[in-house]
Homo-oligomer: A and B are copies of this chain.
Amino acid sequence: MTQGQYDTQTIGVIGTGLMGAPMARRLAEAGHRVRAWNRTPDKTETLREHGIDIAHSANDAATDADLVMVMLSSGPVCDDILLGAGSVISSMTPGAILVVMSSIPVETARGQAQAAEAVGVGYLDAPVSGGELGAIDGTLAIMVGGDPATYTQARALFAPLGRDVHVGPAGSGQLAKLANQTIVANTIATVAEALLLAERGGADPAKVREALLGGFADSTILQVHGKRMLEEDFRPGGPAKWQWKDTQTAQALADELSLELPVSRLVDGLFGDMVAHGDGELDHSALIRELRRRNGENPR
């Protein structure tokens, strides 16, 4: 989707941290009028150089905006700023669209959608995958939940940020993100087990990984995290403690849905053990250390 096919919009950006700041820059570079707010004002100063206005409050950023993009740290922080009397939602123009791009629980997103609808504001939940680099390069995977017409109206916002896919009604974006995180967690455990089997059996695990690339066992995790496991390079891209938070959120949702997901439940427990053993700050690929521990090895 090229950016040129969309009209210029006025976009309020709430939250300009590691992810929000480069996303705001990309929106401004695409020609949109961007007004940004962050709880810690010093994080907004460099944005001025990119033609972004700095708002004095979240409400100020939202007032008169066509689209309000939110990239705050958690569900409760979003609710705190978005909902209730005198909040962002009440400052928005009826017909404008609130796009929450934070990763928050499915139920929180559905509650926000209802609150927005009550004041005539459109709502989309649109969490992303791809990290800071994806935000800078505009290559994020954007998983969008909400009303189809609202989604179509909001695509001007997504185009400069990455590849958006509409996956269902409000809350579905968060569901897709949980599915993503579940696959990542389980595949890390899977690749770790396969490399351990190869190593203990007497093969060269680095060569085994190489042999498997391009075949049915290939995955982004085998390519990226498998390499980290072999090199024991566990500087965090994604820290294990965050991965565990995701697997816990997925399990809580599965419980609500009375859905038994045996592999995901087991892997949730493995990440919990890993964090309990003090490896929570390491990259999630360091789960291989937890498997070594279980097998009587003493990981360095």
Give residues in A with beta carbon < 8 Å to B: 106, 129-130, 141-143, 145, 163, 165-169, 171-172, 175-176, 178-184, 186-187, 189-191, 193-198, 200-204, 207-208, 210-212, 214-222, 224, 250, 253-254, 257-264, 266-267, 270, 291, 294-295
Contact = CB atoms under 8 A, between A and B. Distances in A.
A263 B267 contact: yes
Contact of A257 (B168, B200, B207, B250): B200
B183 A141 contact: no
B264 A180 contact: no
Contacts of A142: 211
A268 to B, nearest CB: 11
Contacts of A218: 219-220
A207 B261 contact: no
Nearest to A284: B216
Contact of A208 (B169, B175, B189, B194): B175
A7 to B, nearest CB: 25
B264 A204 contact: no
Contact of A207 (B165, B189, B214): B165
A270 B259 contact: no
Number of identical monomers bound together in the oligomeric complex: 2
A184 B216 contact: yes
24 contacts: A130-B215, A141-B215, A142-B211, A165-B211, A175-B197, A176-B207, A179-B212, A180-B215, A180-B216, A181-B217, A182-B190, A182-B194, A182-B197, A186-B189, A186-B190, A186-B263, A193-B263, A196-B261, A197-B250, A197-B259, A216-B224, A260-B295, A263-B267, A263-B270
A214 B129 CA distance: 10
Given A176-B198, A219-B218, A193 B266 contact: no
A217 B184 contact: yes
A183 B266 contact: no
Nearest to A163: B214
Contacts of A191: 183
Given A183-B191, A219-B218, A267-B263, A207 B166 contact: yes
Given A183-B212, A263-B270, 4 more contacts: A141-B215, A165-B210, A176-B207, A186-B193
Contacts of A210: 165
A224 to B, nearest CB: 7
A65 to B, nearest CB: 26
A189 B190 CA distance: 11
Given A172-B203, A190-B182, A190-B187, A262 B270 contact: yes
A264 to B, nearest CB: 5
A198 B212 CA distance: 29
A261 B197 contact: yes
- Name the residue among A217, A260, A264 with the largest chain B CB count within 10 angstroms: A217
